[in-house]
Structure 1
Amino acid sequence: MSDIYESAANSLGLFSNSCLTKVELRLTCKGISDRDALSKPDPCIILNMQSHGQWMEVDRTEVIRSCVNPTYSKVFTLDYYFEEVQRLRFELYDINSSHNGLREADFLGSVECTLGQCTVWDWDSNGKHDYIGEFEATFKEMRGAIDGRQVQWPCINPKYKVKKKNYRNSGIVILNQCKVAIDFTASNGDPRNSCSLHYIHPFQPNEYLKALVAVGEICQDYDSDKMFPAFGFGARIPPDYKVSHDFAVNFNEENPECAGIQGLVEAYQACLPKLQLYGPTNIAPIIQKVANTASQEVHTKEAMQYFILLILTDGVITDMADTREAIVQASHLPMSIIIVGVGNADFTDMQMLDGDDGILRSPKGEPVLRDIVQFVPFRNFKHASPAALAKSVLAEVPNQVVDYYNSKGIKPKVPSQYQSSRPFGP
């Protein structure tokens, strides 16, 4: 992991804001390791949550005696915040039959994930929505319904792995697309100059990186494959150095995806020395590019994918009319647009695109079908944690998602309808 990425990511924390919804976690286990030949294990699962870098026990299941495939009646109920990273750890213990304490218990294994990775969205015809996560577990692989797909984690006890040559795991726990556009216009300043908004300090992330990591850390839990297409605009790009407003940051137009948030950071850092920052600041092309992909999803009649376009820009946009038109058309599609203003420019026009002060209309007077734009100036969060920025930026996304699917009369599938399965890690 790069120092820059780690520096920004480690600042993410928990909030004490009011809870909007709850998540219920139900667990069952299969294939728990039987270490004692004379008796079966007495399994119990401890749920821990990370707060300010420390793991704290939240709750625990009951102990089920002499069972390798227990189904627990205990239901974990947690406060859920879409815009936060809530880290969980499930620990499996074999409790001594003479008492329920952990002092004499055998630790069998653990697995970590985030609460966002466990959630399934549900809503009713009135537009009210909940986040529901249901677990079934095998401390062998962890599965969860995320983005309509089954995902898996291995659950390993490090001590057993060292001591036992053939050790693979301790059982199984079954848990029942974000795109980025970066402003590379000359107004950001020469990246080689420490005054530039794109300056790469060896130990301190610049504002672009801080915003990218803060928002990406949240969004990645809702992206099934953790691959993020990243684009740039306003720069001259190799090999012919023509100005482009929708080029792939990794310079691979056939596959612009980056592996995870760290992959995004690395692609951003690698491309800067190869570019010539130029202009103007046109964002309509990148909105149209993502809208074209989202429109293909509409034709499936299920719209199982919802797209979030994160635009990081330092200045006043120069194609306002085209941008308004692009947003109005995109409001009919399964997508949201997040704009983070970097630097100290006048962002008055961005506030207009947000639509909080009135309905945004195209140059021809056509209104947006629904509000899909959220604008936040980074300068308001310079002295706050990245998590505070993410909270503000992503606050409207859940309702935007719900509004789209309600408007189309599309209801979510239940987990049993999901067919695919893919490896996944926390």
Structure 2
Amino acid sequence: MLWRGIKLDKKDTFGKSDPFLEFHRLVDGGSYQLIHKTEIIENTLNPTWKELKIPVNALAAGDNNRELLIRCYDFDTMNDNDLIGVFMTTPAELIGCATESTSRAFSCINPKKTAKKKYVDSGKIELLHCKITRDYSFLDYIFGGMQLNFSVAVDFTASNGNPTEPGSLHYINL
């Protein structure tokens, strides 16, 4: 996945924000579990983060309609990170972007600002690109018909020397 921020809120006094994203999935019991954190892009309101590679199973845990909470923060070295905003999605929606080859912009909402009358959002977070690839396991190759030949060789030559003597090629110092 490739994500970017558009016109994010400025959180720093003497500069712009230093945004990063956190991806959380809903777990049994109603809490959220952190599954990925992007790198921090310094001093910008329009970041483009490096491409992410997150296994679908980490996002969905077998349920593509499971809620994903994505939080956008401004990194602070001295204090707690400042929340820019959050949005919700599902793995199914992200997969839909991959199959349709379209981008999708999400409104980044700061819950503390929603009471203000003129508040619309704290910027947009856009999914520019999403691609699903399958990583094949060893068993996938075997079940697919791949044939293997296995050979074992044992070296019985005495020319390597006695393994208990330091001059031997197979000496083990215990």
Q: TM-score w.r.t. structure 1 length? A: 0.27
Counterpart residue identity of residue 171, structure 1? G
Match of 1:88 in 2: 68
Q: In the alignment, does 2:10 pair up with 1:34?
A: yes
Deviations 1:346-398 (A, max 9, x none): xxxxxxxxxxxxxxxxxxxxxxxxxxxxxxxxxxxxxxxxxxxxxxxxxxxxx
Q: Are the counterparts in 1 of residues 73 and 84 from structure 2 also a CA contact under 8 Å?
A: yes
Q: In the alignment, does 2:48 pair up with 1:71?
A: yes
Deviations 1:8-52 (A, max 9, x none): xxxxxxxxxxxxxxxxx2222121111445311111111101111
Tell me which protein shows more helix as a share of its residues.
1
- Write the distance in 1 (CA, Å) between the matches of 2:107 and 2:46: 17
Counterpart residue identity of residue 112, structure 1? M
| 1:84–1:35 distance in 2 versus 1, CA, 3 Å | closer
- Write the distance in 2 (CA, Å) between the matches of 1:27 and 1:150: 9
Match of 1:3 in 2: none
Q: In the alignment, does 2:24 pair up with 1:44?
A: no
SS of residue paired to 1:117 = helix
Pick from 163, 173, 181 the counterpart of residue 125 of structure 2: 173
Match of 1:155 in 2: 108
Deviations 1:168-202 (A, max 9, x none): 111111123xxxxxxxxxxxxxxxxxxxxxxxxxx
- Write the distance in 2 (CA, Å) between the matches of 1:76 and 1:149: 18
Pick from 39, 52, 55 the counterpart of residue 62 of structure 1: 39
Q: Are the counterparts in 2 of residues 47 and 90 from structure 1 also a CA contact under 8 Å?
A: yes
Counterpart residue identity of residue 94, structure 1? D
Counterpart residue identity of residue 111, structure 2? P
- Write the distance in 2 (CA, Å) between the matches of 1:86 and 1:149: 21
- Write the distance in 2 (CA, Å) between the matches of 1:87 and 1:42: 26
SS of residue paired to 1:40 = coil
- Write the distance in 2 (CA, Å) between the matches of 1:27 and 1:148: 14
SS of residue paired to 1:175 = strand
Deviations 1:26-79 (A, max 9, x none): 222121111445311111111101111220111101111111111112514122
Q: Are the counterparts in 2 of residues 117 and 146 from structure 1 also a CA contact under 8 Å?
A: no
- Write the distance in 2 (CA, Å) between the matches of 1:118 and 1:46: 16
| 1:150–1:39 distance in 2 versus 1, CA, 3 Å | closer
- Write the distance in 1 (CA, Å) between the matches of 2:42 and 2:101: 35
| 1:73–1:116 distance in 2 versus 1, CA, 3 Å | same
Q: Are the counterparts in 1 of residues 72 and 84 from structure 2 also a CA contact under 8 Å?
A: yes
Structure 1 stretch 103-112 or stretch 72-81: which is displaced more?
72-81
Larger RCO (CA under 8 A, 6+ residues apart): 2
Q: Are the counterparts in 2 of residues 26 and 76 from structure 1 also a CA contact under 8 Å?
A: no
Counterpart residue identity of residue 160, structure 1? K
Counterpart residue identity of residue 154, structure 1? S
Match of 1:325 in 2: none
* Residues 327-342 of structure 1 mapped to structure 2, 5 A cutoff: none
Q: Which runs of no fewer than 5 residues in structure 1 stay unpaired? A: 1-24, 121-143, 177-426
SS of residue paired to 2:114 = helix
Q: TM-score w.r.t. structure 2 length? A: 0.61
- Name the count of aligned residue pairs: 124
| 1:151–1:43 distance in 2 versus 1, CA, 3 Å | closer
- Write the distance in 1 (CA, Å) between the matches of 2:95 and 2:88: 15
| 1:159–1:26 distance in 2 versus 1, CA, 3 Å | same
Deviations 1:220-252 (A, max 9, x none): xxxxxxxxxxxxxxxxxxxxxxxxxxxxxxxxx
Counterpart residue identity of residue 90, structure 2? T
- Write the distance in 2 (CA, Å) between the matches of 1:56 and 1:44: 17
* Residues 187-198 of structure 1 mapped to structure 2, 5 A cutoff: none
Aligned-pair Cα RMSD in Å: 2.5
Deviations 1:304-341 (A, max 9, x none): xxxxxxxxxxxxxxxxxxxxxxxxxxxxxxxxxxxxxx
- Write the distance in 1 (CA, Å) between the matches of 2:6 and 2:90: 22
